[in-house]
Chain A
Amino acid sequence: MRGAILLVWVGLAGIAGFALFNITFKVEQLENELSALNKQILKEQNTIHVLRAEWSFLNRPANIEGLARELLPELRHPQTSQIGGIEDLTDTPKTAPDGLATNGLPISKAAARNGQ
């Protein structure tokens, strides 16, 4: 009986030892992974930081204006008449998709007026 108990204890100690080692190695492995990921995150953060600076550099208003002048020579500052709110828009387009002049009327009415 005593021998059996002893055997059980020895067995338990062995299992505990194995589990302890196993956990230790797993934790070590995960820590290495975490460390690599953290390093990667820091590197990405640095890259994003540099890209933000580059974005700001490329978006300098003077640069955009220069590019617009070069690539869109017809582009002008908007005139006051071109600026308005969404509520200024009429419900219907002035010209229907098929080229029918609507003069602001709903398409059906405009079509009826034009005898179409």
Chain B
Amino acid sequence: MIFSRRKLMSKKRRGRQRAASKPCAAFTDKRMEHVVEVSHTRILFAGAMLMLAFGAISVRLIDIALLQEATEPRVAHSTRVEAMRMDRADIVDRNGVLLATNLNTASLYANPRKILDPNEAARQLITALPELREAEIQRLLKTDRAFVWLRRNLTPRQQQSVNALGIPGLYFQSAETRVYPNGPLAAHILGFADIDNRGIAGIERSFDTSLRDNSEPLRLTIDTRVQHALQDELLKAKVEFNAIGATGIIMDVNNGEILAMASLPDYDPNYAGQALPDQRFNRATLGVYELGSTFKIFTAAMALDYGVVKMSGGYDATEPIRVSRFLIRDYHAKKRWLSVPEIFMYSSNIGAAKMAQDVGTEAQQEFFGQLGMLHPARVELPEVGAPIIPTPWRPVSTMTISYGHGMAVSPLQLVSGVSAMVNGGLVHRATLIRSPSTEPRAAKRIISARTSLEVRRLMRLVVETGTGKNAAAEGYVVGGKTGTADKPANGGYRRRSLISSFIGAFPMQAPRYVVLALLDEPQGNKATHGYATGGWVAAPIVKRVVARVAPLLGVRPVDETAPELHQVLDINLNREGRQLASY
């Protein structure tokens, strides 16, 4: 453009020179000048237009190349992909085994207005989904609605079959479904979530918010293998003794972590809607029972710790005790003076009642209060039963509670209490959530380490020579206490309806785990000579469970005749001057 202008200017000058030399050409020059001016303007205009067009293109180019990033989809531009996020976080066991997860599934729905032939569509549909009923599908497809659910949560194969039918008016909706790959295993701990992924029971309910908000899996203290062993042995015993229910717990005595907790009958949380109330009832935490002689562990610990009696001391158990309408008597009556170890070994109610009498009502209340037995158990489950405690707490209550009657607690409370009795005297809060920190959990002392050792000796005595012989798992130095209680009914007790239990700990020289097995209304059989007491029906469960889980938990079997064990667990049985080696 500048070039052309210069050309024009030179032309102008040349024109003027010509005009000066040739006056006749003045008119022609003027005209030429006009033409040049017009051309000049046009060229300028065209140039401006071109500048504008290029300017617009440049602006658009910069816009597309540099400025449009913000409106692009996030995934396309992100240099790293976000981890997959489900509506609900997974739940895993202590070893990372998946216990609950969300999976994407397709659900089938129909728009009946778009179905051409409902009868034919229904007929075809049941060939792909035989579990549906043709008449019901026909009825749904004939409605005047625009949306009807036909089947929720199809498997990929079912979805493919339905797709292959090619029926117009059928659609799939993708949704997340909570899946429990282990089925009934630990069902009462996990609980379940409803169709909208809201926690309804168990851990699913207690941790509903955090499971929705977090993507990190929730790690439980449960060990799937241990849980299976416990559940399996309980089920076998329940069937063998025709019990109406069973429950069992395995707890780490040194931190209160629950490694396994089972309640039978159980249910499959994948089909929680089909479970009966009895199946959904968690006997381990929600059920409260009068647990019988297992409470003698607390009575003995209390009496020894408060110093009202020594291991060498004892009580006269010759005659039953009659207090108001109660008759306190012994099932394995020896009808003589019994030392403390003997009271424990023969499970003497008379001896325990007298021991508790010496301790006193207030001290007993305080002791059980410190053990957490006067309030619902503190555990991360919504299904927790409140203990039934006597009000008022009369002296007779003190006596009956000493052998586990007149006060009902949950099996979990019993296990927590016994853990504190054998672990050196520290009460830990029971927990189902595995802590990532290796710091020792908070605990409060309830009995001295010395008393705890004496309790362990007593518990070992029961398995070695007393009512719990059937719990002796070879090599694992099991100690424990049997419990057999009549079930209360109509203000009294039903003699033939028992709660038979055994609570054991192992290895007794340095306890690591407490194991409880409890059967609800077991029936004796030929193998047990008709007995359905804790020693006959529950102790063998503990024996088998310990033998199965100890190797999994890294507990090494030991030589039970080793002198080191004798040294730790020997007990002086003050019976006519004889010493009983019980270790």
Contact = CB atoms under 8 A, between A and B. Distances in A.
Interface of A: 3, 17, 20-21, 23-24, 27, 31-32, 34-35, 37-39, 41-42, 45-46, 49-50, 52-57, 59-62, 65, 77-78, 80, 83-85
B360 interface: no
A35 B77 CA distance: 7
B557 A61 contact: no
B556 interface: yes
B97 A85 contact: no
Contact of B84 (A49, A59, A65, A83): A49
B551 A56 contact: no
26 contacts: A20-B62, A21-B65, A24-B65, A27-B65, A32-B76, A34-B76, A34-B78, A37-B81, A39-B75, A42-B81, A45-B84, A49-B101, A49-B103, A50-B103, A53-B101, A54-B181, A55-B98, A56-B98, A56-B101, A61-B182, A62-B228, A62-B232, A77-B547, A80-B476, A83-B551, A83-B557
Contacts of A65: 228, 232
B247 to A, nearest CB: 19
A42 B84 contact: yes
B78 A60 contact: no
Interface string B72-92: 110111110101101000000
Given A23-B65, A85-B556, A52 B104 contact: no
Contacts of A84: 556-557
A46 B104 contact: yes
Nearest to A59: B97
Given A20-B61, A31-B77, A85-B556, A52 B72 contact: no
Given A21-B61, A61-B224, A61-B228, A53 B79 contact: no
Interface string B152-192: 00000000000000000000000000010111010000000
B385 interface: no
Interface of B: 3, 58, 61-62, 64-65, 72-73, 75-79, 81, 83-84, 86, 97-99, 101, 103-104, 179, 181-183, 185, 224-225, 228-229, 232, 473-476, 547-548, 551, 556-557
A17 B378 CA distance: 72
Contacts of A77: 547-548
Contacts of A21: 61, 65
Nearest to A78: B551
B76 A62 contact: no
The 9 A-B residue pairs whose C-beta atoms are closest, nearest first, are A61-B228, A56-B181, A35-B76, A56-B98, A57-B181, A80-B475, A45-B84, A24-B65, A38-B81
Given A31-B76, A45-B84, A61-B185, A53 B556 contact: no
A49 B101 CA distance: 9
Contacts, number: 93
A50 B168 CA distance: 30
A35 B78 CA distance: 8
A80 B75 contact: no
A59 B104 CA distance: 21
Nearest to A34: B76
B223 to A, nearest CB: 10
> A21, A80, A83, A84: which has the most chain B beta carbons within 10 Å?
A80
Contacts of B72: 31
A56 B224 CA distance: 11
Contact of B73 (A35, A55, A61): A35
B84 A80 contact: no
Contact of A38 (B76, B86, B97, B101): B76
Contacts of A56: 97-99, 101, 181-182
A65 B185 CA distance: 14
Nearest to A3: B3
Given A38-B81, A55-B98, A60-B181, 16 more contacts: A20-B62, A21-B61, A21-B65, A24-B61, A31-B76, A45-B83, A50-B103, A52-B101, A56-B181, A57-B181, A60-B185, A62-B228, A80-B476, A80-B547, A83-B551, A83-B557
> A3, A23, A46, A49: which has the most chain B beta carbons within 10 Å?
A49
A54 B76 CA distance: 31
Contacts of B557: 80, 83-84
A24 B64 contact: yes
Contacts of B101: 49, 52-53, 56
Given A61-B228, A83-B556, A53 B183 contact: no
A46 B185 CA distance: 25
A50 B98 CA distance: 11
B442 to A, nearest CB: 33
B410 to A, nearest CB: 26
Nearest to A38: B81
Nearest to B68: A24
Contacts of B3: 3
> B83, B103, B181: which has the most chain A beta carbons within 10 Å?
B181
Nearest to A32: B76
> B78, B81, B104, B551: which has the most chain A beta carbons within 10 Å?
B81
> A3, A35, A53, A78: which has the most chain B beta carbons within 10 Å?
A53
Given A61-B185, A80-B475, A83-B557, A52 B98 contact: yes
Contact of B65 (A20, A38, A55, A80): A20
B441 to A, nearest CB: 28
